[in-house]
Structure 1
């Protein structure tokens, strides 16, 4: 299996740095091929801007979507974007590893998504009609691949529980799981979350590695989160709302789970 690990933490000696090293060794020991995009070490440029689309007229108005579409179609993307897209196409499984900062991923990782997910690559693909609304949410360029988040959080697990002050972890991660990963076609595995990261001694670190190792060993067998595919009949098109007889007792994020 080919695994791409996209890693976003600025300190190699951190908990995340140690878990990154563990993940690479565990996967390689199992015979998997691993590529790593260490965004801070790469000095990854986070902002999406006009410099990402080569060959633009200097005085032309920058349109993030249309410029991205033209650059992708004409082979005029900046080299760093094209390299990351090649890694994604190579990978059978994508791992995104990051600390939960201000209830989301670090800005550098969000910038990786915004720049690498070009128009025509991760969105804007497929037929748009009264029967289909593009190849997305279960379909798309990255369909058939798997993805999993490895997330560290400083708060207690109870803080992210069903009645916790921070909100349920599944809800906080929904925009990443459903939007960033499921949208372009990934089968999204349940996340691996480490809580209360400021209270980790050697014994707890060993337990975390054991649990993470088991998840890594089962990447190919773990059942993905059961999101509803967009074009399989559950949604009205083009409104993209659930049919009245689907998930009648649910609303919000939960309604999009089967």
Structure 2
């Protein structure tokens, strides 16, 4: 099986990229294949333009770059997003990728007040890398808000199954090694039966 791992960080030596790499290592260690889509390096344009609005209104075709990203997802059995938390959400580059790529007519279809969810075959795995500690996220409800917005508001709306939703927050000096080990373990379990995912399960 095949996983598409999407990152949105401008620095190739960032911890975000290290986590994405270990996630891919875990997928491959389990006998599957993985592709890392580095949106910053690839120069994906996140701007939602008049062409994207026309596509939303079903009045024109999608741009070639959007079609290429949709084709990458269509080739994958699982989609993983690995990203740093900016202002208690995902980076604008990644949000713009979702805005443009998860378009009406491909990810979902609105018909006479009924929503058709088109990504039911896809499992989604989210690894958010936070700069604040878990107590801060819990005290203000930030992670719950992120899960409402991203897990439910985006992916579940399109019918995709969010199988992993992890916040990798600072844990002291041992945090980087622990988080890299967690990413590898999630990768190894990415295509395991639901009951075997262990720590990667969403409560």
Scaled by the length of structure 2, the TM-score of the pair is 0.87
**Shift in Å, 1:11:** 1.0
**Shift in Å, 1:216:** 2.1
Q: 2:152 aligns with which of 178, 185, 188?
A: 178
Which residue in the other structure is 2:21 paired with? Answer: 21
Which residue in the other structure is 2:83 paired with? Answer: 98
**Shift in Å, 1:64:** 6.0
Paired residue total: 197
CA RMSD of superposed structures (Å): 2.2
Query: Is 2:47 the partner of 1:70?
Result: no
Per-residue CA shift, 1:50-69, capped at 9, x if unaligned? 2x46xxxxxxxx65622xx2
Larger CA Rg, structure 1 vs 2: 1
Q: Separation in 2 of the partners of 1:225 and 1:193?
A: 11
Scaled by the length of structure 1, the TM-score of the pair is 0.69
CA contact (8 A) 1:48 1:64 kept: no
Unaligned 5+ runs, structure 1:
54-61, 227-258
Q: Separation in 1 of the partners of 2:142 and 2:101?
A: 29
Query: Is 2:110 the partner of 1:146?
Result: no
Q: Secondary structure at the match of 1:10?
A: coil
Q: Separation in 2 of the partners of 1:83 and 1:183?
A: 22
**Shift in Å, 1:209:** 2.0
Q: 1:70 to 1:33 in 2, by over 3 A?
A: farther
Pick 1 or 2: higher relative contact order, CA cutoff 8 A, min separation 6.
2
Which residue in the other structure is 1:82 paired with? Answer: 67
Taking the TM superposition and a 5 Å limit, the aligned residue runs for 1:42-61 are 42-50=42-50, 52=51
Which residue in the other structure is 2:198 paired with? Answer: none
Query: Is 2:122 the partner of 1:122?
Result: no
Which residue in the other structure is 1:253 paired with? Answer: none
Query: Hey, which bits of structure 1, 4+ residues long, moved more than 4 A?
Result: 223-226
Q: Separation in 2 of the partners of 1:88 and 1:173?
A: 21
Unaligned 5+ runs, structure 2:
196-200
Q: 1:28 to 1:35 in 2, by over 3 A?
A: same
Q: Separation in 1 of the partners of 2:144 and 2:164?
A: 9
